[in-house]
Chain A
Amino acid sequence: MKAKILLAGTSVLFAAPLWADTLTINSFGGAYEEAHRACVIDPFTAATGADVSIVTAYSADAFAQLRAQKDAPQFDVIHFSGGQEIVGAKEGLLAPVDPAKLENIDQLYDIAKPNLAAGEGPAYSIAPVGILANSEAAEAPVSWAAMMKDADASHMVLTDISNGYGMLGFLMMNQVAGGSMEDIQPGLDAVTDLLERGTVIVSTSPEIQQEFAQNEAWVAPYAADYAFTLQQAGLPISFVNPEEGLPGSFITASIVAGRDNGDLAHRFLDIEISKAAQECMAQALRYTPTNREAELPEDVASTMVVGEEAVAKLIRFDPTTIEAKRSEWVDAWNRTIAR
């Protein structure tokens, strides 16, 4: 890890003037924030001399803050995992990203940079959502359909769709159950069926860990990075890449409009999308890199969704539709799960 930091640091050192400035960003807390600090923030500070002030806020909370601060924004760079950058860009909360200011931008897969000019920042990681399964307790389901139909529902944990991964898992279940982005009723019916058979719903990832560790959970649709977190906590969890494919959560970094250190923010983004930073993040957290130059050791890569081919096969539910319908869906979901 140390060597990686040094590498990431030195690779940008020669190009950078020293800024005696502070950049305010959000990060997602916990192990993510630790890795974020080691792979991106520390190299950035080493390269530019600028301080980074971190506010811990998940995507939805961060976006609520961004909106509330519209007249006096407090963030310079903001990270989202639920497609909020698309809405943010539409509402003029985000500043355009200038590819000319990003040395590493050409190394990114095209799907990671669809709309930079509008303000939608590049994706620097993708978190694929598949099935987490306790491989010791029961045979892991090989597909979404098997999970919904055959797995013991009283040992299953679903995540509330207020959580980004929860939303993607639900949309995938909906698609497999015969629904579409226009019609989520099949998915809701599937959830009702699971709940009646004893499935538990949680709203945050630590609760998933708690259910696996203490309350005999065996199966949960969730992200690959969290499978790794659970493995590191000593739990016998494997990540299943289901037959029908798997949705991905694009973790993006965008530049906030109305702040006066855009150059520094671009510098931060450039380090974030660099080969070194992405390799570092992938090793620490098992996120899928979006930089095609990123190379991972075989034992790491074999447990992950990596490479141009695999990335192209990830399903991306249209974040614009998700954002447009979020309110309606959350409401329908709440009614479905309410006792």
Chain B
Amino acid sequence: MTDRRENLLLLAPGLALLALAFILPIFRMLALSVQGEDGLTGAHFARFLGDPFYLGVLWRTVRLSLLITLICAVLGFPFAYIMARARPRLRTLLLIIVILPLMTSVVVRTFGWMVILSRNGILPEMLRDLGLAGRSFQLMRTETAIVLGMVQVLMPFMVLSILGVLARLDQRLEEAARTMGCSFLGALRHVVLPLSMPGIAVGAVLCFTLSASSFVTPNLLGGTRVQMLAASIYRAVTQTLDWNFAAAQSVILLVGILLVMAPYIVSQGRRHG
């Protein structure tokens, strides 16, 4: 057997699984999204794009995903920097802390937030006691709740992406900047931050795509009144039983995510190509 054949043989199970569980359903979804009662139609897309309500859902999804990504980056960068410069034991400890939310079941994690954010939860109660909020004030079922919950889950993706870059960064570059008169923050801003951009970019793509497509956490924390695209797709599939419209929404989500990833893929292609 030649090398190529062996390689192909090794690849086959993976490819078969991918074709069956990923490529086939995607084509089915694409087909459903343009299927009308008599032949091909763009009506499902027109319905979505021509309706302020659905555009609002789309805009909320994009806006919250951007916000979540931004917060992850702002919190994640210093965290990753400390991790990169810490001694091994502290680094391991920080690593465990940051990936802990990923190891907790989504249900437990979300119920934790419910305890903190609901009407009689710790946070609204404290704000009420301080006279800052009214009796029916609550943070559950708000956009704030979605952002909090999603940042908690997605932080590790950002931190680990940045850490990968920072760990390989030559520390002498930073020292050089300092000896040339740069302040600590100045060195961070002019040397470390620009050099860690590839890591931030990977983290941002991961955070954005994961939060734009996530369903369980936004649905549980945001409730039925604060809808995001994934919840809207779920409703179309299970409640109004309008699969064509659900497929059209899924395609819009897919295209949106591909658009976000495109600049990244192109830049990576250039770098390695």
Contact = CB atoms under 8 A, between A and B. Distances in A.
Contact of A210 (B56, B114, B135): B114
B2 interface: no
B105 interface: no
Interface residues of B, number: 22
Interface of B: 53, 56, 114, 118-120, 135-136, 138, 141, 223-227, 235, 237-242
A154 B135 contact: yes
A330 B239 CA distance: 8
Interface residues of A, number: 26
Nearest to B245: A327
B239 A215 contact: no
Interface of A: 60-61, 63-64, 67, 154, 160, 162, 198, 200-203, 210, 214-216, 326-327, 330-331, 334-335, 337-339
Given A216-B119, A216-B120, A338-B53, A61 B225 contact: no
A201 B225 contact: yes
Contacts of A200: 119, 141
A334 B235 contact: yes
B135 A60 contact: no
Q: Which of the listed residues B138, B227, B238 has the most CB atoms from chain A within 10 Å of its own CB? A: B238
Nearest to B124: A215
Given A198-B136, A215-B120, A335 B53 contact: yes
Given A64-B241, A210-B114, A326-B239, A339 B135 contact: no
A209 B211 CA distance: 29
Contacts of A338: 53, 56, 225-227
A201 B224 contact: yes
A214 B135 CA distance: 14
A315 B53 CA distance: 34
Given A203-B223, A330-B235, A330-B239, 10 more contacts: A61-B238, A154-B136, A160-B224, A162-B224, A162-B235, A201-B223, A215-B120, A215-B138, A331-B240, A339-B226
